[in-house]
């Protein structure tokens, strides 16, 4: 469905991605783990077109998208939940959600879509007239995911949904992600620092180190991998 | 209060006095008097010491007050009065305001001078509302808004004097021209934000003014354009003795001729134009494009990730904001019957931006209050001649001290209840 081959991305002279190969199949949950600065967010930004790849191809459903504008990529069915949620804090919850449907707000299903998001995250329904900035971190993350779902994506790119969120809510959000995948049939590409959670959830997973994929395999298998356990699961402090 | 605090605030006020001395010394202290064949400098240190003393005293009082964590009572009541005009009361306030504006020309105390000031305030309200689309909603700081005002005024003046078309045909054309210039400005600044955007727009405003001065063949340069047709009341001109075959307004309605008829007509014209601007803004905020403007102001990256096309969104904001500036410009041209580049200097842009910012970015009612406040204050102190700018500056400082986010800083949500499609 989504195939990334030999992608290189630069920030000025600094190379962030050094030839990434990766693919995501229809209906899967794929996780990408790695430490700070490995290039995880850069990869997501490159897929969604906010950053441009200098080399390599990104093919989505048989079509090259590496040179497309971000809004075209969203129209094709790839939507990103950016790192740090990036809620429109002065806009209300419902306005945030409607912005997610920017591409198809005129569509018939619009009212229905917003209801589905409220069913998925009932807390948002209670807070629909509140300003986005007044929500807690976890609620904001739900809003960010809901907002992205409003564009009816085929693939949802999630950038660190657990960042800065209470552990209890992290569990809830990961359950929601699983539901979105299973019930709404949305393919998930998840980038996470919380390696344990991300691997448990994933059908398949990749490890990114210094802009390159070093290990790949089914999520359960990677959980048992000695190197991964040492580097990402038991905490870097023990090394 | 402790002794240490008093000493501290005393030191601080002495420092303020030093700054005041540096400023007032040359500006007020050295006065040039022309005597015979040259200018002679006459010092007037007495006034300087009085002013510096006032600054020290004022600063000291503010320090003592802030140390006690109390405000001057008069300002806190004033600011809480403004805050009380919030969402639920806003509608009430708006209706009262519009009603007042409608009956204003017929109130017993309203004379020619009041009407002129009211027309000026309404022009600034309209410009403020137009700029509010760009600055308040889309968050693009435009310091060259006067350029679109100028483009509108000149388009109207040139079309009307060359082809002799009526106001109602020229008005939309002027708006279209201004919108076109809005897009023209929009393209090069698509990638810019904040300070850099402000600098480029500032330059754009100056470019337009300099073109107007130098393109003598078309714009008549610094001499300006004269004899711009006055507006007519749907074909009925406001003339004492109409041309042959024409009926003028006072003859048609069987009234005594008065110049006030035209003034009152102009007043209602700008009132309607301003209200259209307001209505349009309020409506468009609830549409996808208006919401995209506000989202762009909040976070451009999030917008991109959600499929909002930032190019189109910014360009529409510039174009629509410019269009209303153009409408206001045509009104200005027809009201004055004479325009020259003199009327479109940077200070105009600065005043309009000040109105939007002091009103509270994005607040429609705030623009009205700020226009009345700022334009009204400069008019009230007209007798002080050049010192009225001090009053203007003072008013701005007061708003920024007591209402740092603008008079009405609250953003009104566009959706109140789910399924409630208003």
Same domain membership, residue B210 and residue B138: yes
| Shared domain check, B365 and B244 | yes
Residues B29 and B95 in one domain: no
Say if B241 falls within a structural domain.
Answer: yes
Chain B contacts of A119, Cβ < 8 Å?
Answer: none
Q: How far apart are CA B363 and CA B373, in angstroms?
A: 15
ipTM for the complex shown: 0.86
Identify which has the larger pLDDT, B79 or A30: A30
> Which of A73, A94, A131 is facing B418, going by the closest CB pair?
A94
Question: Could you tell me if B200 and B325 lie in one domain?
Answer: yes
Q: How far is B195 from chain A (nearest CA, A)?
A: 22
Nearest by CB to residue A102, choosing from B306, B413, B416, is B306
Shared domain check, B184 and B50: no
Averaged pLDDT of chain A: 90
Please give, rounded to a whole number of angstroms, the shortest distance from the CA of A185 to a CA of chain B.
20
pLDDT digits (tens, 9 = 90+) for A91-136: 999 999 988 887 665 556 778 888 999 999 999 999 989 999 999 9
% of residues, chain B, pLDDT over 90 = 39
B49 and B187 belong to one structural domain: no
Instruction: Answer yes or no: is A237 within a domain.
Output: no
Confidence of residue A190 (pLDDT cuts 50, 70, 90): very high
pLDDT of B267: 94
DSSP conformational letter for A63? E
Residue A52, pLDDT score: 92
pLDDT of residue B71: 47
Pair B140, B314: CB distance under 8 Å: yes
Give yes or no: residues B247 and B317 share one domain: yes
Domain that holds residue A87: 69-202
| A74·B306 Cβ contact <8 A | yes
Same domain, B56 and B204: no
- Quick one: pLDDT at residue A105? 58
The alpha-carbon gap from B419 to the nearest alpha carbon of chain A, in Å, equals 8
Asked whether residue B75 is assigned to any structural domain, the reply reads no
**Which CATH number does the domain housing residue A196 bear?**
3.40.50.300
Chain B: residue nearest A80 by CA? B305
Q: Total structural domains in chain A? A: 1
- Taking only the tens place, the pLDDT of each residue in B376-403 is 888 887 777 677 777 778 877 877 777 7
Instruction: Provide CB contacts within 8 A for A237, sequence distance 6+.
Output: none
Decide: B290 and B284 in contact? Cβ < 8 Å: yes
Interface contact flag, B415 A129, Cβ < 8 Å:
yes
Confidence of residue B43 (pLDDT cuts 50, 70, 90): confident
Q: Are residues B277 and B324 in the same domain?
A: yes
Cβ-defined contact of B301 to A88 (cutoff 8 Å)? no
> Lowest-pLDDT range, A220-234, B169-183, B328-342, B343-357?
A220-234
Average pLDDT for A164-180: 91
A116 within some domain: yes
Of B11, B416, B172, B57, the residue nearest A95 (C-alpha): B416
The model's pLDDT over A43-68, given as tens digits with 9 standing for 90+, comes to: 999 999 999 999 999 999 999 999 99
Q: Do B294 and A79 touch (CB under 8 A)?
A: no
As a 3-state breakdown, chain A gives helix, strand, coil percent values, each rounded to 5, of 40, 25, 30
Q: How far is B94 from chain A (nearest CA, A)?
A: 23
Are the Cβ atoms of B299 and A88 closer than 8 angstroms? yes
Q: What is the pTM of this model?
A: 0.81
Strands (E) across chain A are located at 2-11, 14-24, 29-33, 55-60, 63-64, 78-81, 155-159, 187-192, 204-209, 212-218
Final residue of a structural domain among B13, B36, B70: B70
Average the pLDDT over each of A103-112, B168-177, B272-281 and give the range with the smallest value.
A103-112
Domain hosting B238: range is 84-402
Residues of B in Cβ contact (< 8 Å) with A89: 298
Total domains present in chain B: 2
Residue range B51-83, pLDDT digits in tens: 888 888 888 887 777 665 544 455 555 555 555
Q: Quick check: is B409 in a domain?
A: no
Looking at residue B333, its pLDDT comes to 95
| Backbone angle region of A23, left / alpha / beta, with phi > 0 → left and psi within -120 to 50 → alpha | beta
Average pLDDT of B258-286? 92
């Amino acid at each position: 469905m989504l195939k990334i081959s030999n992608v290189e991305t630069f920030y000025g002279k600094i190379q962030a991605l050094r030839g990434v190969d990766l693919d995501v199949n229809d209906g899967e949950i794929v996780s990408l783990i790695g430490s700070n600065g490995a290039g995880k967010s850069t990869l997501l930004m490159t897929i969604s077109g906010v950053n441009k790849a200098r080399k390599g191809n990104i093919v989505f459903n048989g079509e090259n998208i590496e040179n497309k504008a971000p809004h075209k990529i969203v129209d094709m069915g790839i939507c990103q939940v950016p790192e740090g949620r990036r809620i429109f804090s002065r806009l209300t919850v419902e306005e945030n959600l409607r912005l997610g449907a920017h591409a198809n707000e005129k569509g018939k299903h619009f009212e229905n879509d917003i209801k589905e998001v409220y069913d998925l995250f009932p807390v948002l329904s209670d807070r629909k007239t509140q300003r986005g900035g007044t929500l807690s971190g976890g609620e904001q993350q739900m809003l960010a995911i809901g907002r992205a779902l409003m564009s009816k994506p085929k693939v949802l790119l999630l950038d660190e949904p657990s960042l800065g969120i209470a552990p209890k809510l992290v569990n809830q959000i990961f359950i929601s992600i699983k539901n979105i995948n299973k019930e709404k049939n949305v393919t998930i590409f998840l980038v996470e620092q919380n390696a344990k959670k991300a691997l448990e959830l994933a059908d398949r997973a990749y490890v990114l180190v210094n802009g390159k994929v070093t290990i790949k395999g089914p999520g359960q298998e990677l959980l048992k991998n000695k190197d991964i356990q040492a580097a990402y699961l038991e905490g870097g402090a023990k090394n | 209060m402790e002794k240490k605090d008093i000493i501290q605030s005393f030191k601080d006020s002495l420092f303020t006095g030093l700054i005041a001395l540096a400023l007032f010394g040359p500006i007020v202290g050295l006065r040039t008097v022309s005597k015979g064949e040259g200018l002679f400098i006459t010092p007037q240190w007495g006034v300087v010491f009085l002013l510096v003393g006032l600054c020290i005293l004022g600063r000291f009082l503010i320090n003592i007050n802030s140390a006690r964590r109390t405000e001057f009572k008069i300002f806190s009541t004033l600011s809480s009065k403004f805050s009380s005009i919030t969402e639920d009361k806003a509608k009430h306030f708006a209706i009262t305001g519009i009603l007042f504006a409608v009956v204003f020309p017929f109130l017993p105390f309203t004379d020619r001078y009041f009407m002129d000031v009211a027309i000026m305030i309404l022009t600034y309200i309209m410009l403020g509302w137009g700029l509010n689309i760009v600055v308040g909603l889309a968050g693009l700081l435009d310091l060259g808004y006067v350029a679109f005002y100028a483009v509108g005024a000149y388009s109207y003046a040139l079309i009307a004097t060359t082809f002799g078309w009526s106001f109602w045909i020229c008005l939309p054309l002027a708006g279209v021209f201004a919108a076109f210039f809005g897009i023209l400005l929009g393209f090069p600044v698509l990638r810019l934000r904040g300070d850099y955007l402000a600098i480029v727009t500032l330059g754009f405003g100056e470019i337009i003014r300099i073109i107007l001065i130098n393109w003598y063949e078309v714009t008549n340069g610094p001499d300006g354009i004269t004899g711009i047709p006055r507006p007519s009341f749907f074909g009925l001109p406001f003339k004492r003795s109409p041309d042959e075959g024409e009926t003028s307004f006072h003859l048609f309605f069987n009234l005594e001729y008065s110049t006030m008829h035209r003034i009152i007509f102009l007043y209602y014209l700008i009132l309607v134009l301003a209200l259209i601007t307001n209505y349009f803004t309020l409506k468009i905020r609830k549409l996808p494009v208006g919401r995209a403007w506000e989202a762009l102001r909040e976070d451009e990256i999030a917008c991109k990730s959600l499929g909002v096309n930032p190019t189109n969104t910014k360009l529409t904001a510039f174009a629509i904001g410019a269009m209303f500036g153009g409408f206001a410009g045509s009104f200005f041209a027809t009201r004055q019957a004479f325009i020259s580049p003199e009327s479109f200097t940077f200070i105009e842009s600065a005043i309009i931006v000040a109105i939007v910012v002091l009103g509270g970015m994005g607040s429609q009612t705030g623009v009205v209050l700020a226009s009345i406040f700022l334009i009204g204050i400069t008019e009230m102190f007209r007798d002080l001649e050049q010192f009225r700018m001090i009053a203007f500056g003072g008013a701005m400082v007061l708003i920024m001290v007591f209402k740092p986010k603008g008079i009405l800083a609250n953003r009104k949500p566009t959706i109140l209840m789910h399924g409630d499609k208003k």
